[in-house]
Amino acid sequence: MDTRTIRKTFIDFFTKHGHLEAPSSSLIPDEPTLLLTNSGMVQMLPYLLKQKNPPHIRMSSIQKVFRTVDIDDIGIDGRHLTFFEMLGSWSFGDYYKKDAIHLALELLVKEMEFDKEKIWVSVFKGEEPIPKDTESIKYWLDEGIPNERIVELGWKDNFWGPPGETGPCGPSTEIYYDMGEALSCGKEDCKPGCDCDRYLEVWNAGVFMEYYKDEYGKFSTLPQKNVDTGAGLERVAAFMQGKTDCFDTDLLRQVVDLVCKKLHITDYDTNPKTKRSVKIITDHSRAAVFLISDGVMPSNEHRGYILRKVLRRAMAQVSINKGQAPFFTDIIDLIVSLYSDYYPNLLTQKEHIKEVITAEELKYSKTLQSGIKNLEKIFHTKGEVSGEDIFKLQDTYGLSPEIAIDLMNGLGITFDKESIATTYESSMQTQKNRSRLGSSFTLGKIIEEQFKNFPPTVFNGYNSLVEKANVLHIDRTESAYLIITDKTPMYAESGGQAGDKGTMTFVNGIVSISNVKKTKRGVFVHIADRNDENDSAIVLPDGKTSYPIPVTIEVDEINRKRSSYNHTATHLLHWAIREVLGKDSHQKGSYLDAGKLRFDFTSHKDVSKEDISKIETLVNEKIKEHAQVDIAEMQYTDAKKEGAIGLFEEKYLDRVRTVKIGNFSFELCGGTHASNTEELGTFRILKIEPVSEGIKRIRAVLE
Ligand code: SER
C-alpha cells in the first residue's frame, strides 16, 4: 500500500467508526511550553483537558510532527526521522480501553493486512504511583492475543506524555510486529522493548490519558478519560511495503534517489557512510521545508535554531560529498510535489522556502568551506585535530563543534575522543543540553548540574536595581550565554515570578539579559541570547582577560515594576478566592511575568460565573482601597503564629520573608511587589479553566 493510500485507509477507517478528521495543525504549537508540535495530540490539548468542547467526541488526524530529541540519531538506523507524519485518533471521554484495543487490531489486521500471528503488544507494568494496566491485558486476551505475546513494560516504553513539562499523560498500550528471527539480537530475552530490529513498534494503540502531571511532578486525575493513539506514517508504510527502512518507502526513497543523483553517489545501498550522509540530507531537507512552510525562520534561538541546525547539518553532508551551493532547489521542488496534495500550503510557500534555504546556504557555505580547509590543514600539518582546534574554529568561523565532528567523520579525519575529551566533551555536553532545552525547556535541570560548584549569588535586587558585580564564569552555547556573577540585582525566576530582564555592561559594550534562572543552591544564571550585539559586547577570558570580569548589572525597571504589580495582584487574587470560595480553597501553583498572571487553586465545587465576577470585584475594591504592601523578615514560627499562609512551607528556613497587604492578606513570599495596591490599575480575569480533578486555573491581567 503506498503512503497516500495508507493515509486514506486510516482516515476512512476512523471516519467509519464515528471519528471526525481534523486537518494537521501547524508545527508551531499553540501550547507555549512546547517548542514544536511533537505529536498529534498537541492540537487536542484543550479537549483532553476538557477546557473546550471538541468539534466531535471522536477525532482523527494526520499531523505534521517534529521531534528534536531524534536529531542526532538520523541516519544511524532506518527508523528515526526528525519530521514525520503521525496517524492519530482520539476519544474525548467517550470509548476507552476496550474499544481502543478492538479498533487498533481491526484496522491493522482487517484493513491493512498485518499478520495477527506476528502481532505482539505491550502494556504498562505499573510503577509508583501509577498502577498496572490489567484491563488492557484482559482486552488483548479477549481479542485473541495470547498471554505470551503480551509484555509488560515501564515508564520508558509504556507511559506517554505530557508533551511538554506539564499536561495530560497516561499509560499506553503499544503494538509491535515480529520481523522474524533473522533480525533478532539472539538474546534469550529478546522481545518488544529490546533495542534490536526483530520487534518493531507499529502503533501506540492507546495512551489512556486520565492523568495530569503538574509542574511539581505530581499526578492528579483529569476530568475525563481519553484515548490518544499515534503511529508514524513512514513506519507503517515501511511495514506495508515490505521494507525495514523508512527511507526506502515510496515517497522518501524518491528524495533519497535525487540526492544520490545530484551527489553522484552510486553505493547508497551498500556503503553505510554514504547512506548516513544521504539520509541526513533527505530527512533534514524535508524537515526544513515543512518548518519554513509553517513560518519558522532560521535564527539562533528556539525553533529558529532547530531549523538552522537541521539545515546546517544537511549542508555539511552536502559539502563532504562535494556538492555545490545552492544545492537544495530541485530537492525542494520534489518534496513539495510529493507532499502538497495533502499539505497544500507547501505549494503557496514554495518560492519562500527556496529563498530562505538558499540564503542560509550561501551564508553558511563560507563557514563550511573554511571549516573543511582548516580541519584538513590542521590534520595534515599536526597529524591530529585537538579539542582546542575545534574551539578555535568555533570562535573564528562560527563552526559548531558538532558540525566540526560531522565534517571530520565525513572527511575521514580520525580523532581521539579521549585526548580531546575535556574541551570537546564539555562543548558537546553543552550542545546536547541545549537541544534538550529545545525539546522541553528543561533549562532548570541543566543549570543545576552545570553550575553545582559555584557559590550562591548574593541577591541585592529588593532594594537596588543597579549594581557593580564580578562575572565568575560564562558558558557559551550556540544560542545563549549563561553568565554567573558574585552578586546581582536581577530577580531569578522563582516562587512563580518570572526572572528579570536587563543589561550587563562589559568594557566592550552592553549585553541584554533576557532571563535569569537560579539553581536550588541559589546560583543565579543570567541568560543572554547569542546575537551580533551580545557577541561583540561580551568579554570572554582569553590570554589577556581572566575571571573575575567587572561588569555593571542593571534591571529593566519597567519590566520589573509590571511583574511586581502582577505579583501583588496574585496575592490579592489568592485572598479573594478564599473569601468567595471558602478557606479550604488554596493555592496549587502560579506563574506571572510583566504581562500576565495565572493562578491554580483547589476547589471541590463548581466555580460559577457569579463567583468569578465576585472575585474580580473584590480584587478591584482592594486595589482602590490603596492598601499598603509591607514586606518584612521574621522568624518562621512568628509568621505562622500571625497567620501567614505559604505554598511550600517545608521549604522555608528559620527566617522567612513575609508580604502583608493592608490587614487582610499575609503570605510567605520571596517575590517583588508594589508598595501600595493603588499602583496596580484594573484587574481583569480573562478565563477560568479546569487543570485536573479539583484544581482550577485563573488567567488574569492588569490593565
Ligand atoms: N501521543 C502518543 C504518541 O505520540 C500517541 O499519539 O506516541
What is the secondary structure of 616-681 as a DSSP string?
Answer: HHHHHHHHHTT-BEEEEEEEHHHHHHTT-B-S-GGG--SEEEEEEETTTEEEE--S---SBGGGG-
Residue 265 makes CB contacts below 8 A (sequence gap 6+) with 259, 274, 278, 321
Q: Are residues 222 and 335 in the same domain?
A: no
Burial of 55: CB neighbours in 10 Å, binned 0-12, 13-18, 19+: exposed
Of residues 473, 609, 621, the one with CA closest to residue 549: 473
Would the CB of 410 count as within 6 Å of ligand 1? Answer: no
Only one residue has cell 508598595, namely: 675
Would the CB of 62 count as within 6 Å of ligand 1? Answer: no
SS3 356: helix
CA of 442 to the centre of ligand 1 (A): 20
Count other C-beta atoms under 10 Å from residue 166's C-beta: 19
Would the CB of 204 count as within 6 Å of ligand 1? Answer: yes
Would the CB of 228 count as within 6 Å of ligand 1? Answer: yes
Q: Are residues 193 and 44 in the same domain?
A: yes
With b for 16 or more beta-carbon neighbours within 10 A and e for fewer, the 176-199 pattern comes to bbbbeeeebeeeeebbbbeeebbb
> Over the chain, what is the mean pLDDT?
90
Would the CB of 40 count as within 6 Å of ligand 1? Answer: yes
Would the CB of 88 count as within 6 Å of ligand 1? Answer: yes
What is the secondary structure of 543-601 as a DSSP string?
Answer: SS--SSEEEEEEE-HHHHHHHHHHHHHHHHHHHHHHHHH-TT--EEEEEE-SS-EEEEE
Only one residue has cell 538552522, namely: 308
Mutate to test the pocket of ligand 1, among 207, 208, 210, 226 (most ligand atoms within 8 A of CB): 207
* For ligand 1, atom 2: residue with the closest CA: 230
Query: Which pLDDT belongs to residue 388?
Result: 76
Q: Which atom of ligand 1 is found nearest the CA of 161?
A: 1
CA of 230 to the centre of ligand 1 (A): 5
Q: Phi/psi class of residue 109: alpha, beta or left (left: φ > 0; alpha: ψ in -120 to 50)? A: alpha
Would the CB of 163 count as within 6 Å of ligand 1? Answer: no
Spans of the chain below 50 pLDDT: 432, 434-442, 648-652
Q: Are residues 613 and 548 in the same domain?
A: no
574-to-336, 425, 582 alpha-carbon distances in Å: 52, 47, 11
Q: Are residues 268 and 168 in the same domain?
A: no
Please tell me the pTM assigned to this model. 0.65
SS3 293: helix
CATH number at residue 657: 3.30.980.10
Mutate to test the pocket of ligand 1, among 24, 228, 236 (most ligand atoms within 8 A of CB): 228
Would the CB of 207 count as within 6 Å of ligand 1? Answer: yes
Query: The domain containing residue 459 runs over which residues?
Result: 445-555
CA of 203 to the centre of ligand 1 (A): 9
Q: Are residues 230 and 316 in the same domain?
A: no
Would the CB of 237 count as within 6 Å of ligand 1? Answer: no
Would the CB of 26 count as within 6 Å of ligand 1? Answer: no
Count other C-beta atoms under 10 Å from residue 653's C-beta: 6
Q: Are residues 232 and 258 in the same domain?
A: no
Would the CB of 321 count as within 6 Å of ligand 1? Answer: no
CA of 142 to the centre of ligand 1 (A): 24
Angle separating helix axes 426-440 and 302-320, nearest 10 degrees: 130
Q: Are residues 697 and 610 in the same domain?
A: yes
Q: Phi/psi class of residue 657: alpha, beta or left (left: φ > 0; alpha: ψ in -120 to 50)? A: beta
Residue 606 makes CB contacts below 8 A (sequence gap 6+) with none
Q: Which atom of ligand 1 is found nearest the CA of 163?
A: 1
Longest dimension (CA), the chain: 81
* For ligand 1, atom 6: residue with the closest CA: 230
Query: Which pLDDT belongs to residue 419?
Result: 60
Q: Are residues 168 and 280 in the same domain?
A: no
Q: Which atom of ligand 1 is found nearest the CA of 230?
A: 6
CA of 211 to the centre of ligand 1 (A): 15
Domain count, the chain: 4
pLDDT tens for each residue of 400-411:
878 988 899 888
Would the CB of 160 count as within 6 Å of ligand 1? Answer: yes
Mutate to test the pocket of ligand 1, among 19, 38, 86, 155 (most ligand atoms within 8 A of CB): 86
Euclidean distance between CA atoms 440 and 68, whole angstroms: 9
Q: How many CA atoms lie within 13 A of 558 on its CB side?
A: 1
Query: Which pLDDT belongs to residue 436?
Result: 44
Of residues 442, 473, 444, 441, the one with CA closest to residue 457: 473
Q: Is the peptide bond before 129 cis (omega within 30 degrees of 0)?
A: yes
Query: Which pLDDT belongs to residue 576?
Result: 97
Residues in a beta bridge with 173: 206
CA of 92 to the centre of ligand 1 (A): 15
* For ligand 1, atom 3: residue with the closest CA: 230
CATH number at residue 537: 2.40.30.130
C-alpha cell at 243: 521494507
Q: Among residues 502, 534, 555, which one ends one of the domains?
A: 555
C-alpha cell at 237: 508504510
Residues in a beta bridge with 525: 517
Euclidean distance between CA atoms 680 and 678, whole angstroms: 5
Q: Are residues 516 and 613 in the same domain?
A: no
C-alpha cell at 291: 518548518
Residues 56 and 20: beta-carbon distance below 8 Å: yes
Q: Which atom of ligand 1 is found nearest the CA of 88?
A: 6
Would the CB of 3 count as within 6 Å of ligand 1? Answer: no
Of residues 139, 173, 168, 179, the one with CA closest to residue 153: 173
C-alpha cell at 383: 597529524
CA of 163 to the centre of ligand 1 (A): 9
Euclidean distance between CA atoms 108 and 500, whole angstroms: 53
Residue 478 makes CB contacts below 8 A (sequence gap 6+) with 300, 305, 309, 400, 431, 434, 530
Q: Are residues 292 and 351 in the same domain?
A: yes
H helices then E strands: how many in the chain? Answer: 19, 25
What value, to the nearest 5°, has the Cα angle with vertex 355 and ends 352 and 359? 145
With b for 16 or more beta-carbon neighbours within 10 A and e for fewer, the 374-385 pattern comes to bbbebbeeeeeb
Q: Are residues 17 and 138 in the same domain?
A: yes
Phi, psi of 428 (to 5 degrees): -65, -35
CA of 206 to the centre of ligand 1 (A): 8
Euclidean distance between CA atoms 225 and 239, whole angstroms: 31
Query: Which pLDDT belongs to residue 439?
Result: 35
Residue 67 makes CB contacts below 8 A (sequence gap 6+) with 38, 81, 82, 84, 439
pLDDT tens for each residue of 84-108:
999 999 999 999 999 999 999 999 9
Would the CB of 38 count as within 6 Å of ligand 1? Answer: no
What value, to the nearest 5°, has the Cα angle with vertex 302 and ends 503 and 504? 10
Distance of CA 460 to the CA centre of its chain: 33
CA of 40 to the centre of ligand 1 (A): 7
Q: Among residues 528, 555, 582, which one ends one of the domains?
A: 555
Distance of CA 374 to the CA centre of its chain: 35
Q: Which atom of ligand 1 is found nearest the CA of 41?
A: 1
Query: Which pLDDT belongs to residue 637?
Result: 79
CATH number at residue 226: 3.30.930.10
Q: Are residues 299 and 421 in the same domain?
A: yes
| Strands 150-153 vs 119-124: parallel, antiparallel or unpaired | parallel
SS3 148: helix
* CA terminus-to-terminus distance, the chain: 57
Q: Among residues 509, 538, 555, which one ends one of the domains?
A: 555
Of residues 484, 481, 462, the one with CA closest to residue 535: 481
